[in-house]
A and B are shown apart, each in its own frame.
Chain A
Amino acid sequence: MSENGHHVVSPKIYATILAALLIGTFVTVQAAKIDLGPWNIVLAMTIAVIKMSLVILFFMHGKYSPRRTQLVIISGFFWLAIMLGLTLTDYKARHPEPSRVANPPAIVIDRA
Chain B
Amino acid sequence: MHRTGELYGQYKTLDQQKETATFGMWIFLVTEILFFGGLFLTYTINRHEFPTAFGIAGNMLDLNLGFGNTIVLIASSFTMAMSVWSAQTSRKKAIPVWLIATLALGSVFLGIKVVEYKQKFDHHLVPGYHFDVTYCSNNPSACGLSGKELEDERKEVREYIEAEKEYAKQLGLSDPSAGIAAVNAHAQLYFSLYFGMTGLHALHMIVGAGLLLWLIVQSLKGRFDANYNTPVENIGLYWHFVDIVWIFLFPLLYLINRHLA
A83 interface residue per 8 A CB criterion: yes
B29 interface residue per 8 A CB criterion: yes
A2 near B173 with CB under 8 A, answer: no
**11 pairs of residues in contact across A and B, judged by CB atoms under 8 Å:** A3-B227, A11-B82, A17-B78, A44-B255, A45-B251, A60-B240, A72-B23, A72-B30, A73-B26, A80-B33, A104-B171
A109 interface residue per 8 A CB criterion: yes
A55 near B244 with CB under 8 A, answer: yes
B18 interface residue per 8 A CB criterion: yes
In Å, the complex CA distance between A3 and B89 comes to 9
B19 near A66 with CB under 8 A, answer: yes
A84 near B171 with CB under 8 A, answer: no
B62 interface residue per 8 A CB criterion: no
For B226, the chain A residues whose CB sits under 8 A away are 2-4
For A109, the chain B residues whose CB sits under 8 A away are 171, 173
B220 interface residue per 8 A CB criterion: no
Residues of B207-261 contacting chain A, CB below 8 A: 226-227, 233, 236-237, 240-241, 243-244, 247-248, 250-252, 255-256, 258-260
Interface size class of A (residues with CB under 8 A): 35 or more
Quick one: closest A residue to B258, CB to CB?
A: A32
With A2-B88, A8-B85, A55-B247 as given contacts, are A21 and B74 in contact (CB-CB < 8 Å)? yes
B255 near A28 with CB under 8 A, answer: yes
Using CB atoms and an 8 Å cutoff, list the residues of chain A in contact with chain B.
Answer: 2-6, 8-11, 14-15, 17-18, 21-22, 25, 28-29, 32-36, 40-41, 44-45, 47-48, 51-52, 55-56, 58-61, 65-66, 68-69, 72-73, 75-77, 79-80, 83-84, 87-88, 91, 99, 103-104, 106-107, 109, 111
In Å, the complex CA distance between A71 and B25 comes to 13
Closest CB of chain A to B56's CB: distance in Å? 15
